[in-house]
């Protein structure tokens, strides 16, 4: 895990203990209702986006995340 600046989204595993990080995210949502979860997620995203600080990487991540959604989810949102 080197600390290099790149204009490309890193898509390979970059966490020493990914299961621990996943569990920390799940634990952070514990006892929150749906509205609180959405607010928490939005705040977390904004904090991490600010930390990344690279517009190109952030836009690439947005596109990858959006494109990875099932098409039926996107169609339902358009209704």
The tens digit of pLDDT for each residue in 9-49 reads: 999 999 999 999 999 999 999 999 999 999 999 999 999 99
Q: CA 10 to CA 8: how far, in whole Å?
A: 6
Q: What is the mean pLDDT of residues 55-65?
A: 96
Residue 62 above 90 pLDDT?
A: yes
pLDDT on residue 76: 63
Average pLDDT over residues 3-14: 78
Q: In sequence order, which residues have a C-beta less than 8 Å from that of residue 57 and are 6 or more positions away?
A: 6, 7, 8, 9
pLDDT of residue 78: 61
pLDDT at 71: 81
């Amino acid at each position: 895990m080197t600390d290099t600046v790149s204009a490309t989204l890193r898509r390979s595993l970059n966490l020493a203990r990914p299961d621990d990080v996943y569990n920390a995210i799940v634990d952070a949502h514990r006892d929150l209702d749906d509205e609180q979860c959405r607010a928490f997620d939005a705040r977390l995203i904004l904090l991490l986006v600010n930390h990344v600080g690279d517009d190109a990487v952030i836009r690439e991540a947005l596109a990858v995340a959006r494109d990875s959604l099932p098409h039926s989810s996107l169609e339902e949102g358009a209704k």
